[in-house]
Amino acid sequence: MKTNTIKIKVRKPAIWLMAFLMPLFGCREGKRLEKVETPAAETDPAIEIITELMDFQVRDTIKSGWQTFRYTNRSKEPHFFLLEKYPQGKTIVDCKQEVIPVFQKGMNLINEGKMEDAMTAFGELPEWFPQIVFLGGSGLISPGETAVTTLKMEPGYYVIECYVKMETGVFHSAMGMLEDLVVLSDSVDYNPPAPTFSLDISKEGGIAMPDSIGPGHQVFAVNFVDQALHEHFVGHDLNLVKLEEGAVPDSLARWMNWSDPKGLISPAPEGVTFLGGVNEMPAGYIGYFTATLTPGNYAFISEVPSPGEKNMFHLFTVEADSGMGAE
C-alpha cells in the first residue's frame, strides 16, 4: 500500500502550529536499522506488547508485511499504542532533545488556561516534525484487557507511544510509555484476518457501521476513507467501548479530546471499558482488530472533539440472540 503522508506547508505560523499540535512523544536511545532479532515462534506469530506500569515491553525488531500485535494492559491506567514512522535520519534521540520539552511546556500552559502562550510554545517544535507518519496501533484499552490489532507494516524506524495523561496533566509518554521499533525490509507472508464486519471512517461521513452485530468473537476491518486534522490538531481513529451501568455517554464524548485539560486523562470515565480498535492511519489504509462481544451496551467512538456532532460516536446494544440495534 502506498504511504499517504499528510504534508503540511510551513508558510503561515497558524497553520504551522496546527500541524505540530500532535500527540506527545517520549524518547530514549535509538536503534540501528541493521539490528536483527530472533523471529517469533511460527505457532504464534503475534507480536506481544505488555504494559505493567508506564512501559511498553516489546521486541525491538520485526519484519515488514501484515503483522498482528497483541497488547496486554496489566497496569491500572487506560492506554493505547500508536505507531509513528519517523523521517529518515531522525530517531528517538532527536525526539528527546527537540520534542518532549516543547510538548510538556505547551500542555502545562493549556492546563493553566494560557492557550495563546501554549500555541507560542508549540511553535518551538522542529521543522521535521510534520514528516512523521502515523500508521496505526491499538485503540484505547482498559486495565486488565488485551487488544489484538493487525496492520500492514512498512519498513522503517518507528516510535511506539501512548499519550493518555496522568491526573496531573503529564503525558504517559513523558512518564516512559514509549519504545522504538525497527521494521526490516524482509517481509512475512502472513495475510490479514477475514473480517466479520467492516466499518468506514472519514472526516466527512463519520463512522459508517453495520446495522447489526451479534455476540461472540468478531473481527472488524476499519477502512480509513480519508484523514485530516480535527480541532485538536490530530486525525481520527476508532475505539470500541463497553458501557456498564452508570456510564454517562456525554462524559465519554468530552473525555475523548486530549486538548481539553480534563480530556484523555486518567482515570477514564466511570462505567467505561475500552476494548481496543485501530489508531490513526492515513487515507486509503485499513487496519483490523478483534473483540469478543458479550450481551450489553457498547459504542464506537473516535478520539476527536465533539464526536457525536461528527457522526463519530455510535451507541449500540449487543443482544444475546439476534445481534444489535444501532442508534
Same domain, 140 and 67: yes
Question: What's the pLDDT at 43?
Answer: 56
Final residue in a domain of this structure, among 132, 155, 187: 187
Final residue in a domain of this structure, among 187, 213, 234: 187
* Cell numbers representing residue 266 in the block: 486518567
Which tens digits make up the pLDDT trace of 294-322?
999 999 999 999 999 999 999 999 998 75
Q: Is the bond preceding residue 267 a cis peptide, omega within 30 degrees?
A: yes
For residue 225, the domain's CATH number is 2.60.40
Question: What's the pLDDT at 104?
Answer: 83
- Once rounded to an integer, what is the mean pLDDT over residues 38-53? 75
Which tens digits make up the pLDDT trace of 60-111?
999 999 999 999 999 999 999 999 999 999 998 888 788 877 888 988 999 9
Judged by average pLDDT, the poorest of 18-22, 205-209, 285-289 is 18-22
Question: Is residue 123 exposed (0-12), middle (13-18) or buried (19+ Cβ within 10 Å)?
Answer: middle
Q: Which domain holds residue 126?
A: 13-187
- Does the structure show a pLDDT above 50 at 269? yes
Q: Sign of the C-alpha dihedral, residues 177, 239, 5, 1?
A: positive
Residue 26: closest CA among 139, 164, 141, 146:
164
For residue 70, the domain's CATH number is 2.60.40.420
